[in-house]
Amino acid sequence: MTDTIDVIDHLVGITPDTPADALRGRRPITREHAHKSWTALFEPVDASQASRVERFAVATFVAALHADQGIAEFYGNKLAGLENGAVVLATIKALAELNATKGPYGHYPDGPLSAENTDGLILKLGPADRAVLGDRLAAALEHAHLLTYRPRDASPAELQKLLSAGWSTTGTVTLSQLVSFLAFQIRVAAGLRVLAAA
């Protein structure tokens, strides 16, 4: 993937001079910045705080949790092309299938909103999965699951789990940005698919 290929266009199947292309062309700055965000997250100059395997593994997992098979496959293919990526991909797919649920879940602080508190699945990876993924990636997937289904439960204690697993503060921010970006990208792609089919 290079800077000349717009990833959202690719994921949706938008080609030049089509109605969907014209629609995206009405928001050129949004289009440009969405692609720049993708490049910063997935083609970083410095991947020392979050490896490419970790980035594409989390992206594949999040897309699968959102039930977007096309986007999960796109990131999964990227992951499979990296060192040990095929083994990680097989585990990611199995975990996503077993742990996809509905949401959002979580608990608000005491007050009027706490009437909306809802318990839900909390992902805790076992020793077998940790042996394949390592502590860092296992913690990253647990965090991605939390942000996808239980964002209101995000807390300093949850962030500490990442730090304890070997993530730096910068890496933790990158990971959270990646999960947020995927949620944005998946929703934009879904909307554009509907519009392109109309």
User: pLDDT of 137-196, one tens digit each?
Assistant: 999 999 999 999 999 999 999 999 999 999 999 999 999 999 999 999 999 999 988 887
Q: Which residue in 130, 134, 140 sits closest to 161, CA to CA?
A: 140
Residue 56 resides in a domain: yes
Residue 143 resides in a domain: yes
Instruction: With a cut of 80, say whether residue 55 has pLDDT above it.
Output: yes
Residue 42 resides in a domain: no
| Angle at which helices 52-65 and 85-99 cross, to 10° | 30
Residue 106 resides in a domain: yes
CA 162 from chain center: how many Å?
16
Contact 175, 137 (CB under 8 A): no
| pLDDT at residue 100, rounded to an integer | 95
Residue 41 resides in a domain: no
User: pLDDT of 70-123, one tens digit each?
Assistant: 999 999 999 999 999 999 999 999 999 999 999 889 998 899 988 899 999 999
Residue 89 resides in a domain: yes
Query: Which CATH number fits the domain that encloses residue 152?
Result: 1.20.1290.10
| pLDDT at residue 14, rounded to an integer | 87
Domain limits at 129?
52-197
| pLDDT at residue 5, rounded to an integer | 73
- d(CA 43, CA 5) in angstroms, rounded, equals 13
Residue 117 resides in a domain: yes
CB hemisphere CA count around 138 (13 angstroms): 16
CB hemisphere CA count around 189 (13 angstroms): 25
Structural domain total, the chain: 1
Residue 181 resides in a domain: yes
Instruction: With a cut of 90, say whether residue 198 has pLDDT above it.
Output: no
From start to end of the chain, where are the E strands? none
Contact 74, 160 (CB under 8 A): no
User: pLDDT of 2-32, one tens digit each?
Assistant: 455 789 999 998 888 888 888 888 888 988 9
